[in-house]
């Protein structure tokens, strides 16, 4: 019985070590001032998938959901954001929030302004990507062609723990504050 307990402890110790090593490699986010790494999900056809949106460095309490359905060569998104403070209150005077989609080939698509109502937003968009991640950034130019460094939300993983879909890491080059 004593040998059995020692084996169990070793197994538990090894399991904990493996989990810590594996989960440390799952993180995405800021790489440096000009690069961000995010998760791009491959959405299965004709299935509703909900992806969690997590807050950035200045917006840790902001949360969101993106309900995505890929059908007829388009992804339809229903987005909901809660508790996103005004950009001015975060030190980004004169900026507005913009939603971006980044596909697995690093193509970037500006999906437009986030329609804020107080600290919340709820809206729908469509895009032609099947595999993509999402960013929300604070931009001085809402028609910018690349996301800036003021990241406020990023797509994380699907909220269904039993859903098995490919998830890729995509590194995005962020626009410089002056350009």
Count of CB atoms situated within 10 Å of the CB of 94: 9
pTM of the model: 0.83
The architecture that CATH gives domain 31-173 is Sandwich (2.60)
Residue 164 phi, psi (nearest 5): -110, 110
Above 70 in pLDDT, residue 15? no
Q: Lowest-pLDDT range, 18-27, 69-78, 99-108?
A: 18-27
Helical spans, DSSP H, in 62-156: none
**Residues whose CB falls within 8 Å of the CB of residue 41, separated by 6 or more in sequence, listed in order:** 49, 51, 68, 131, 132, 133, 155, 157, 158, 165, 166, 167
Please say whether the dihedral angle defined by the alpha carbons of residues 122, 56, 163 and 99, taken in this order, is positive or negative: positive
The mean pLDDT of the chain is 87
Q: Provide the pLDDT confidence category of residue 29 given band limits of 50, 70 and 90.
A: confident
Instruction: Report pLDDT for 33.
Output: 84
Residue range 103-127, pLDDT digits in tens: 999 999 999 999 999 999 999 999 9
Above 70 in pLDDT, residue 79? yes
Q: Provide the pLDDT confidence category of residue 26 given band limits of 50, 70 and 90.
A: low
CA distance 102 to 35: 13
Residue range 154-170, pLDDT digits in tens: 999 999 999 999 999 99
How much of the chain exceeds pLDDT 70, in percent? 83
Element at 23 (helix H, strand E): helix 2-24
CA distance 123 to 116: 10
Above 50 in pLDDT, residue 12? no
């Amino acid at each position: 019985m004593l040998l059995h307990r020692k084996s169990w402890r070793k197994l538990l110790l090894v399991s904990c070590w493996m989990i810590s090593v594996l989960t440390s490699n799952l993180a995405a986010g800021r790489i440096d001032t000009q690069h961000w790494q995010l998760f791009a999900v491959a959405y299965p056809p004709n299935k509703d998938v909900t992806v969690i949106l997590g807050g950035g460095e200045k917006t840790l309490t902001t949360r969101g959901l993106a309900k995505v359905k890929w059908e007829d060569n388009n992804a339809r998104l229903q987005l909901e954001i809660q508790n996103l403070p005004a950009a001015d209150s975060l030190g980004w005077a004169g900026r507005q929030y913009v939603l971006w989609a980044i596909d697995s080939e690093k193509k970037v698509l500006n999906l437009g302004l986030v329609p804020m109502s107080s600290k919340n937003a709820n809206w729908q968009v469509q895009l032609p990507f099947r595999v993509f991640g999402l960013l929300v950034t604070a931009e001085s130019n809402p028609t910018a062609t690349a996301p800036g460094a003021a990241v406020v939300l990023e797509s994380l993983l699907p909220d269904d723990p039993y859903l098995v879909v490919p998830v890729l890491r995509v590194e995005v080059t962020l626009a410089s504050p002056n350009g």
